[in-house]
């Protein structure tokens, strides 16, 4: 057992003990009033000693708690950074057996004329559905856009909505509720002002009517018929000089796909093109030979 100190109440020893405590309290009070340097837990390096003008023990306790919170936050930050560094690198995408098999049929150093590429595209397709045929075109600059009518359509049925003076209020209400049941929206000029209220829903999806792509017209019905007959708007990505465009279905005749291809290239013009890649859904890409002007 440890030593037990017995102090008689009112004895000389008790008085000395009280005097020592009193002196310590007075010294502490003087240090606080003078703003003496006090160590704060949680501070690092030169921050460990900080001049604190606390006027009471309560204020000092508050400062101590704050420093402990700072230390805790710092520790959590370190753990977070460590966790980020410890994350394993993402595994590279592994292609399936079918993809690897058809990939062997391509000469990756060769540029194929479109007349050879289209029959080859059908040989390397392995989907169980009718895939879309796509062109990925690298251009000399971004910000390019235009309109073209594909002679044989894109093979995709487009749902078109028309915003006129008589139905725009109802349409705006539906869009605000998240009901967007169309692939293209054509607006009469007098309806555009009200559509601006739901631009935050339409804009990110590329559906906000715009005079640049012909979706604002005094005769929206006429524009809708053109779209249904195969007229499409093409443009480069916002940040990159590349155009992604569907030109039909793989079930189309080679001649029909070729005519759609030629119409799109003519609309873009070859002097603005750097590279062309032809592919279908899930297939490898085929590099296309073209004749720059």
> So what's the pLDDT on residue 64?
53
The domain containing residue 281 runs over which residues? 99-154+231-293
- Are 133 and 244 in contact, with CB atoms under 8 Å apart? no
Q: Is residue 16 part of a domain?
A: yes
Q: Which of 2-6, 49-53, 177-181, 275-279 has the lowest mean pLDDT?
A: 49-53
Question: Residue 40: which pLDDT band, with cuts at 50, 70 and 90?
Answer: very low
Question: Is there a single domain that holds both residue 149 and residue 240?
Answer: yes
Q: Is residue 88 part of a domain?
A: no
Question: Is there a single domain that holds both residue 150 and residue 235?
Answer: yes
Question: Is there a single domain that holds both residue 246 and residue 277?
Answer: yes
**Mean pLDDT to the nearest integer, 21-48:** 58
Question: Is there a single domain that holds both residue 184 and residue 235?
Answer: no
Question: Is there a single domain that holds both residue 67 and residue 181?
Answer: no
Q: Is residue 90 part of a domain?
A: no
Question: Is there a single domain that holds both residue 130 and residue 252?
Answer: yes
Tell whether the model's pLDDT for residue 14 goes beyond 90: no
CB-based burial of residue 87 (10 Å sphere; 0-12 exposed, 13-18 middle, 19+ buried)?
exposed
Q: Is residue 91 part of a domain?
A: no
Using the 3D structure, point to which of 214, 229, 244 is the last residue of a domain: 229
Q: Domain count for the chain, please give it.
A: 3
Question: Is there a single domain that holds both residue 127 and residue 240?
Answer: yes
Per-residue pLDDT tens for 90-115?
665 666 777 777 777 788 889 999 99
> So what's the pLDDT on residue 73?
44
> So what's the pLDDT on residue 174?
93
> So what's the pLDDT on residue 18?
80
Question: Residue 132: which pLDDT band, with cuts at 50, 70 and 90?
Answer: very high
Q: Retrieve residue 29's tokens.
A: 């009070």
pTM: 0.57
Question: Is there a single domain that holds both residue 115 and residue 61?
Answer: no
Using the 3D structure, point to which of 208, 229, 250 is the last residue of a domain: 229
Question: Is there a single domain that holds both residue 72 and residue 171?
Answer: no
Per-residue pLDDT tens for 51-81?
444 445 565 555 555 445 444 544 444 454 4
Q: Is residue 274 part of a domain?
A: yes
Question: Is there a single domain that holds both residue 211 and residue 249?
Answer: no
Phi, psi of 116 (to 5 degrees): -90, -35
Provide the pairing of β-strand 160-163 with 184-187. parallel
> So what's the pLDDT on residue 258?
96
Question: Is there a single domain that holds both residue 133 and residue 249?
Answer: yes
The rounded mean pLDDT for the chain is 79
Q: Is residue 94 part of a domain?
A: no
Q: Is residue 3 part of a domain?
A: no
Question: Is there a single domain that holds both residue 47 and residue 66?
Answer: yes
- Are 209 and 215 in contact, with CB atoms under 8 Å apart? yes
What is the domain-level CATH number for residue 268?
Answer: 3.30.190.20
Q: Is residue 93 part of a domain?
A: no
What is the domain-level CATH number for residue 223?
Answer: 3.40.50.790
Per-residue pLDDT tens for 170-215?
999 999 998 998 988 999 998 988 998 898 888 888 888 888 778 8
């Amino acid at each position: 057992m440890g030593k037990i100190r017995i102090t008689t109440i009112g004895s000389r020893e008790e008085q000395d003990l009280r005097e020592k405590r009193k002196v310590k309290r007075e010294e502490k009070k003087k240090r606080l009033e003078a703003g003496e340097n006090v160590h704060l837990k949680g501070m690092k390096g030169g921050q460990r000693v900080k001049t604190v003008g606390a006027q009471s023990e309560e204020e000092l306790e508050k400062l101590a708690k704050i420093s402990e919170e700072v230390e805790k936050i710092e520790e959590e930050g370190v753990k977070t950074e460590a966790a980020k560094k410890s994350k394993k690198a993402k595994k590279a995408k592994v292609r399936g057996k079918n993809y690897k098999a058809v990939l062997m049929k391509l000469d990756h150093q060769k540029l194929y004329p479109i007349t050879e590429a289209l029959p080859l595209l059908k040989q390397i397709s392995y989907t169980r559905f009718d895939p879309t045929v796509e062109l990925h075109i690298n251009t000399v600059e971004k910000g390019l856009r235009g309109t073209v009518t594909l002679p044989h359509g894109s093979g995709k049925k487009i749902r078109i909505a028309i915003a006129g003076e008589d139905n725009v209020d109802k349409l705006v209400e539906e869009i605000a509720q998240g009901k967007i049941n169309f692939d293209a929206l054509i607006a009469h000029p007098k309806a555009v002002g009200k559509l601006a209220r739901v631009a935050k829903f339409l804009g990110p999806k590329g559906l906000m009517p715009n005079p640049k792509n012909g979706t604002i017209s005094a005769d929206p019905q006429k524009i809708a018929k053109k779209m249904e007959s195969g007229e499409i708007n093409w443009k480069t990505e916002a940040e990159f000089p590349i155009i992604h465009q569907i030109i039909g279905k793989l079930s189309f005749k080679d001649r029909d796909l070729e005519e759609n291809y030629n119409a799109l290239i003519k609309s873009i013009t070859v002097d603005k093109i750097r590279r062309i890649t032809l592919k279908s859904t899930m297939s490898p890409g085929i590099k296309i030979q073209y004749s720059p002007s």
